[in-house]
Structure 1
Amino acid sequence: MDTNVNIIKSSGENVKFSVHKLRTSLGKSGADKHTVDQIIEKVQDELYDGISTKEIYNRAFSLLKKKGGYLASRYKLKKAIYELGPTGYPFERFISAILKYSGYDAHVSEIMSGHCVSHEIDVVATKNGTTSLIECKFHNEEGRNCNVKVPLYIASRFKDVKTHWESKAHDTILDVGWVVTNTRFTEDALQYGKCIGLYLLSWDLPKNDGLKDRIDRLGLYPITVSTLLTNREKQFLLSRDVVLSRDLIDDVFFLDHLGISETRKSKIKNEIRLLCKI
């Protein structure tokens, strides 16, 4: 049952606290009903008018972490994506990795000729005889959505590359342009993107096949979800293009290079196995 407590979202919007939303997000972590009920009860006891969604998240995360590190890792997925920043490059590599596990041949930062100028494309992905040009719009803070300027810009770049592409012989068909964001699209961005024929991929779009759904389904969690690695260790790994948690399972160099003990290394790998269901 929801309360009459007003909470403040990251966008600054005031809304009523929703038990249902908290229950749903906790449930997606894989926690059992008893654990979810316990956490909700404790969070509700600490609610006050004007509390931020960030404070509610931090409290729920802390309680969930005590029940199981891998549950907390899964719960913090959205925040972990923001932590891939401040630049968008690790996010591009993360998207490329997800596509590779989905059967694509994917490459990052490809220079492609257009009819008018050359363009650096974030990710170029090929599958089943078609090639897609993918632009990634990364935000490293909550409350910022992808506005209509982004698909407008991407559509013009895609058109320029496509014009040149079709003037030459290629082994694949240049399919559609993609816009991928770790946040959400504004209504104008959605309307324009769909109208012009772009493929839009955001945190929860398309329905049941958004970024979060794909990550959960494939078990492709970024290293930033770890509750055992320090921020320094995560940034070191990202700087070495290690973006997927599961890549650390067979790692024989970077964890040693960081001076991580065998005991701690074992705990980190066990957390990843539970998280990614390896």
Structure 2
Amino acid sequence: MIQSRAPKNAHCSYSQHEKPSMKRTSSMSRSTRETIQLAHSAAKSGADFAIALPPGYYAGALVANYMLAIKNYFIKVAAESPIPGMIYNFPAVTSGIDMQSDLILSIAKSAPNICGIKLTCGAVGKLTRITSIVNEQSFATEYPRKVETAPFRVIDGFIDFLLPSMAAGSSGAITGLANFAPKTCVRFWELCQAVPGSGSYAEAQRVQNLIANADGVAIKIGGMKMLLNRLFGYGGEPRRPLMPMEKERGDLVMEEKYIKDLLEFERGLK
């Protein structure tokens, strides 16, 4: 499990490759220069790693010529960042820009200061194509990382497909669900280590279904903040211009079968 010193409502991470007390930062800058500046500021503040989305402004120009501009962006940022960085592929918040496996692998080979990618596109096939290359010892030998303790890892952006992605070589997940069901996420991670066909693996499949259905409710805009407020008394409102979930809708979410099932399972864990 990757433990973070991030605020208590920050996303929690679970990974095969443990490093306690890891501090992270993220960048949503639309320019190369500003992203590099943010990486330096993060390093001065004590961050161990940075994670950067591809810029999404003028998306049409950025995706031209096989996304050469996107490739150059990550290579330049990584070269000038004082800390290792991760690519964050999240098409829903970057004007639909969806980085494909060939591009990601090309960047990984060209930028030794990049230590992985978070795939919030939910594409298991893409994840498999990447892990089939980067998880091989030959990749580490031919394309060593700048920081030896920060090898290239492929991380799920959602926990709702962790079990199949683990079978494909994923190193873990960064999930918001751990904010209100942390024991369930830890238990699920443990079950994901089970041998297929065993009783524990069957339990992993059951918990995967439980988590996937609840996550589908929680990821609605404003849903996570509302759940944190209702369950723990913190979380606040989403960043504007996003609007908070209406009370009536929040009441319905709290009564959703999948949320209630997950919370019951969470309460039953020690």
Do they fold alike, i.e. is TM over 0.5? no
Interval of TM-score (by shorter of Structure 1 and Structure 2): 0.3 to 0.5
- TM-score normalized by the length of structure 1: 0.36
Task: Give 1 or 2 for the bigger CA radius of gyration.
Answer: 1
Structure with more of its chain in strand, by fraction: 1
* TM-score, normalised via structure 2 length: 0.37
